[in-house]
Structure 1
Amino acid sequence: MSKKLFKSRRNFIKNTAMGAAGFMIVPRNVLGKGYIAPSDKLIIAGVGAGGKGRSDIANFYKSGKAEIGFLCDVDDRMAEESRKNFPKAKYYKDWRELFDKEAKSFDAVSVSTPDHTHAVVAMAAMRRKKHVYVQKPLTHDIYEARVLTEAAEKYKVVTQMGNQGASGDGVRQLVEWYDAGIIGDVHSVYIFTNRPIWPQGIPWPTEKPAVPAGLDWDLWLGTAPQKDYVDGLIPGSWRGWWDYGTGALGDLGCHLMEAPFRVLGLQYALDVQASVTSVFTAFGKRGYFPDSFPPSAHATLTFPKTNKTKGEVIMHWMDGGIKPERPAELGANEVFGDGNSGILFVGTKGKMMASEYAANPRLLPLKRNEEVKVPKTIKRVPGSADGHYAQWVEGCIAGYGNMELSAPFSKSGPLTEAILMANLGIRAADTPKPRANGRGNDYPGANMKLLWDYKNMKVTNLDEVNQFVKREYRKGWTLDF
């Protein structure tokens, strides 16, 4: 290389880095195919910089192979700590402005916003050929999960959902036990959690306080219907409202249902039925609060036979303190799951269980864990659950199709669809229909098994619930594919 050419390239790198991000890091895409950035680090834009977003961003940086080039949050209060931790990262409130102005200056996007805005942010990033990491659940609606999964393949970007347990040792141990035939053929799975730990089964607040300084309320609403600001939604209670969150299933379903999906090779549900805990008014009548999830629920999903099962699999989801019958093989003082959450596999030759994130897998009775020795056949992710972040960073650096990840959209998309299918059942069970005689209401959805047409994303025997498969966005917001 001539001295003149070397000097020219060196000046280009220096000027681009200083002009675009204010520090000496060049996004890999700026140098073009075949070049490696001088830092050899992934430049990330973090959309959602507070709460879970704060820890996500910190974990990407901790991998040692990423730089946080940009931060974005609709709420300056939530972003404060991340801005202190990464003072060189340029800050935006509107992710659309960030993408329009800075797309050439970053390689990847982390999406850690409330559920109802996951899809629009992730899709906009993928259209710009940016790799994406999206917090669980992948999306708010089934339709969104389907199109994000398709978009990842279309745009050839590296994707990962934020269910860290997918990279943990626990789920791999469960797969090895099952594949070795230790518990026979699984036909039933029971999952339980103490969530929600936020208010549910309540009416929408009537007070109309002033919007706090630093919060762009309209931008926080995003795709959701226009409503006045209310206290208590931020930072985490939005999970209990249908317009923004996906309830207990959205919060922990991806952490608890991922193991059965991996162990049994599940893909999509055939049907769902649900029951909910009723809320009664002072007059003894069942209350109906359409904006909010019920206090607790039990949803039962049927999955078709796979190449790892001999027949259909019945999966029970229980939240709000509901638990399955305690396994007879479990001693009186032995903990079921982790006490708050758990997964129980019931097979023809035995049972196995695990805690949240599929951690601490155990065969039942517990003495079997000392007797059974199965070789490790599945490669572990360095750092286990914490390695979930580093794995995505390394996958982005390697490029699309060059590295296997634990939770790409091809896996986490169908998982998310099943979780949201269970929510359809819960919503149907909690929705009243006035009786013809005008005396009270019936709850037809509570007595029905919703039949699911996976290909067409449609419930075939209760059309009223299909409006929630693909919700209507507020004017000005679209999910362009």
Structure 2
Amino acid sequence: MSEFPEPASRRKFLKSSAVATAGILIVPRFVLGGKGYTAPSDQLVVAGVGVGGKGESDLAMFAKTGKVRIAYLCDVDDRRAANSRQAFPQATYYKDWRRLLDKEAKHFDAMSVSTPDHNHAAVTLAAMQHGKHVYVQKPLTHDIYEARALTEAAKRYKVVTQMGNQGASNDGVRQLQEWYDAGLLGDVHTVYCWTDRPVWPQGIPWPTTAVTPPPTLDWDLWLGSAPYRPFVEKLVPFNWRGWWDYGTGALGDMGCHLLEAPFRVLNLQYPSAVQASVGSVYVDEFKRGYFPDSCPPSSHVILRFPKTNKTKGDITVHWMDGGIQPERPAELGPNEVFGDGGNGMLFIGEKGKMMASTYSADPRLLPTSRTQQAQVPQTLARVPGGANGHYGQWVEACLAGYGKKQVSSPFELAGPLTEALLVANLAIRGYDLQRPKATGQGMDYPGRGLELLWDPKQLKVTNLDDINRFVKRDYRQGWQLG
């Protein structure tokens, strides 16, 4: 990965601006004073890549702060981009993010990335190499290697980073942390997190019938770093999440929202071991099948983490998706909702338990009567606006400059969290080599029969080398990382 030249000086910019950039009304901050510069009054000039769906709402939240000018929009699908183009009519529009950076990098400060998972890393790393602050939707990356690369790049290029994980800014996670730090649970040794996702198809064969992409969609640009396949129906804009080439399954979609609290409360870093069991689907009346291109319909993953400065020993974290839930704790009344019904987290300590819902919302001690009785002083500052303040927090940090203000989900935290989720996905994708490899029929179950031993320094599984091909995938020609 090669670094790009430092931003131009104020004098050089003013000398050339009369001819080259006379139409720019608000000068990007980094051009005026270089990295870390703080101007008394200006706006953050932002480019958005992936501006439909979640990207659309992200840009709207940035603009709502009153301190952001959305200057550039980029999307491979004109139809998906239509609302953002209408909301920000003065923004210049591109379909290829590489052209956006090549032509406009001097004219904006920060980039919001909300593409499908498989293109997160390439777009984000390129933006950081251009000196741009970045806001990236969860999960941070598609591959383990990419998560580590972005975490290191954030320090190297000294830019403000934030993963779009709104629960990290919620009051709930800070309440959970204060309860634990006050000793109300004793030492936590086990955590359960669960979700009712996926709500898109998983555990299915790749469609056999190719169709013509809609005229608004550039299919080649959408594929980006992924292997080429003909376009099929019902893949975009949502169902790509269930296919390993593009998505990261229920773990990638909801894991960041649910596992962020255990990471923060217990100061977890990298797992040391992982095992999994997964659900399968009926192919016909007598056979169950596994389709290796697709994430399974349900899974139960057990991650083991080494002891931290917040625990006495190793920590076991259970992840369950597809509607699987742990046993209800005895301290929870029979008519009390477990988590939020479909999703939740449960901390089990030697002296007590606590739980919360998605985004760490509605934190409760168990039995729930303890919640109101507990008198624990507030020791952690809250983010103004809570979960919705996640956006403004990043904007303020960008305006202040690298290292000047804290954000809730910088890559130094989001990177290890994402890595842990993707290590869990290794177990979901793995298989016992003593069995025949998956054929799409019969009794091949990924992840069953082995505990994978993970070495975070080498970024590899040490006892099943074949699975390491998923740590860093092969990129399509022309789309390599960096």
* TMscore range, shorter length: over 0.9
Counterpart CA distance in 2 for 1:247 and 1:21 is: 47
**Aligned match of 1:420 in 422, 430, 455?**
422
Q: State the match for 1:245 in structure 2.
A: 247
User: What are the superposed Cα offsets for residues 235-294 of structure 1, whole Å, 9 maximum, x if unpaired?
Assistant: 111000000000001101000000000000000101100000122221522212111001
**Aligned match of 2:156 in 130, 136, 154?**
154
**1:321–1:20 CA distance, 2 compared to 1 (3 A):** farther
Q: Which amino acid aligns with 2:320?
A: M
Counterpart CA distance in 2 for 1:301 and 1:21 is: 56
Q: Which runs of 4+ in 1 moved over 2 A?
A: 12-23, 32-39, 429-433, 439-445
Q: Which amino acid aligns with 1:289?
A: F
Q: State the match for 1:5 in structure 2.
A: none
Contact residue 29 and residue 109 of structure 2 kept, 8 A: yes
**C-alpha root-mean-square deviation of aligned residues, in Å?**
2.1
Contact residue 20 and residue 102 of structure 1 kept, 8 A: no
Q: Which amino acid aligns with 1:143?
A: Y
Give ranges in structure 1 of 5+ residues lacking alignment.
Answer: 1-8
**1:372–1:309 CA distance, 2 compared to 1 (3 A):** same
Counterpart CA distance in 1 for 2:237 and 2:446 is: 35
Q: State the match for 2:273 in structure 1.
A: 271
Counterpart CA distance in 1 for 2:104 and 2:389 is: 28
**1:112–1:21 CA distance, 2 compared to 1 (3 A):** farther
**1:430 shift after superposition:** 9.1
Alignment of structure 1 residues 223-238 onto 2, 5 Å? 223-238=225-240
Q: Which amino acid aligns with 1:30?
A: V
Confirm or deny that 1:309 pairs with 2:311: yes
Q: State the match for 2:6 in structure 1.
A: none
Alignment of structure 1 residues 38-49 onto 2, 5 Å? 40-49=42-51
Counterpart CA distance in 1 for 2:446 and 2:335 is: 41
Q: State the match for 2:60 in structure 1.
A: 58
Counterpart CA distance in 2 for 1:431 and 1:279 is: 21
Counterpart CA distance in 2 for 1:351 and 1:246 is: 30
Alignment of structure 1 residues 278-289 onto 2, 5 Å? 278-289=280-291
Q: State the match for 1:456 in structure 2.
A: 458
Q: Which amino acid aligns with 2:390?
A: H
Aligned residues: 468
Q: State the match for 2:220 in structure 1.
A: 218
Q: Which amino acid aligns with 1:242?
A: W
Counterpart CA distance in 1 for 2:21 and 2:73 is: 14
- Seq. identity, %: 68
**1:20–1:45 CA distance, 2 compared to 1 (3 A):** farther
Contact residue 37 and residue 400 of structure 2 kept, 8 A: no
Q: State the match for 1:6 in structure 2.
A: none
**1:208 shift after superposition:** 1.3
Contact residue 38 and residue 401 of structure 2 kept, 8 A: no
Per the alignment, in what secondary structure is the counterpart of residue 271 of structure 2? coil
Q: State the match for 1:397 in structure 2.
A: 399
Counterpart CA distance in 1 for 2:361 and 2:37 is: 40
Q: Which amino acid aligns with 1:196?
A: P
Q: Which amino acid aligns with 1:257?
A: L
**1:256–1:473 CA distance, 2 compared to 1 (3 A):** same
**1:457–1:35 CA distance, 2 compared to 1 (3 A):** closer
**Aligned match of 2:435 in 429, 433, 436?**
433
Counterpart CA distance in 1 for 2:189 and 2:352 is: 11
Counterpart CA distance in 1 for 2:282 and 2:81 is: 40
Q: State the match for 1:259 in structure 2.
A: 261
Contact residue 431 and residue 443 of structure 1 kept, 8 A: no
Contact residue 14 and residue 24 of structure 1 kept, 8 A: no
**1:457 shift after superposition:** 0.5
**1:61–1:230 CA distance, 2 compared to 1 (3 A):** same
Counterpart CA distance in 2 for 1:70 and 1:137 is: 23
Q: Which amino acid aligns with 2:32?
A: L
Give ranges in structure 2 of 5+ residues lacking alignment.
Answer: 1-9
Q: Which amino acid aligns with 1:469?
A: V
Per the alignment, in what secondary structure is the counterpart of residue 173 of structure 1? helix
Q: State the match for 2:144 in structure 1.
A: 142
Q: State the match for 2:126 in structure 1.
A: 124
Contact residue 21 and residue 90 of structure 1 kept, 8 A: no
Q: State the match for 2:174 in structure 1.
A: 172
**1:443–1:201 CA distance, 2 compared to 1 (3 A):** closer
Q: Which amino acid aligns with 1:223?
A: S
**1:445 shift after superposition:** 3.5
**1:18–1:306 CA distance, 2 compared to 1 (3 A):** farther
User: What are the superposed Cα offsets for residues 169-221 of structure 1, whole Å, 9 maximum, x if unpaired?
Assistant: 00000000000000111000000100000000111011111110111000000
**1:95–1:37 CA distance, 2 compared to 1 (3 A):** farther
Q: State the match for 2:4 in structure 1.
A: none
Per the alignment, in what secondary structure is the counterpart of residue 447 of structure 1? coil
Per the alignment, in what secondary structure is the counterpart of residue 430 of structure 2? helix
The TM-score normalised by the length of structure 1 is 0.94
Per the alignment, in what secondary structure is the counterpart of residue 254 of structure 1? helix
Counterpart CA distance in 2 for 1:469 and 1:38 is: 45
Counterpart CA distance in 2 for 1:28 and 1:240 is: 40
**1:179–1:38 CA distance, 2 compared to 1 (3 A):** closer
Counterpart CA distance in 1 for 2:463 and 2:19 is: 59
Per the alignment, in what secondary structure is the counterpart of residue 446 of structure 1? coil
Counterpart CA distance in 2 for 1:279 and 1:17 is: 64
Counterpart CA distance in 2 for 1:365 and 1:22 is: 62
User: What are the superposed Cα offsets for residues 332-357 of structure 1, whole Å, 9 maximum, x if unpaired?
Assistant: 11000000100000001110000000
The TM-score normalised by the length of structure 2 is 0.93
Q: Which amino acid aligns with 1:24?
A: L
Contact residue 194 and residue 319 of structure 2 kept, 8 A: yes
**1:385–1:205 CA distance, 2 compared to 1 (3 A):** same
**1:39 shift after superposition:** 5.5
Contact residue 30 and residue 109 of structure 2 kept, 8 A: yes
**Aligned match of 2:335 in 333, 341, 356?**
333
Alignment of structure 1 residues 1-150 onto 2, 5 Å? 16=17, 20=21, 22=23, 24-33=25-34, 40-150=42-152
Q: Which amino acid aligns with 1:380?
A: R
Counterpart CA distance in 2 for 1:137 and 1:376 is: 30
**1:20 shift after superposition:** 4.5
Contact residue 432 and residue 449 of structure 2 kept, 8 A: no
Counterpart CA distance in 2 for 1:299 and 1:445 is: 9
Q: State the match for 1:4 in structure 2.
A: none
Counterpart CA distance in 1 for 2:39 and 2:183 is: 48
User: What are the superposed Cα offsets for residues 54-100 of structure 1, whole Å, 9 maximum, x if unpaired?
Assistant: 00101111111111010000000100000000000110000000000
Per the alignment, in what secondary structure is the counterpart of residue 433 of structure 1? coil
Q: Which amino acid aligns with 1:49?
A: V
Compare 173-182 and 367-376 and name the one that shifted more. 367-376
Counterpart CA distance in 1 for 2:22 and 2:417 is: 37
**1:30 shift after superposition:** 2.1
Counterpart CA distance in 1 for 2:117 and 2:41 is: 33
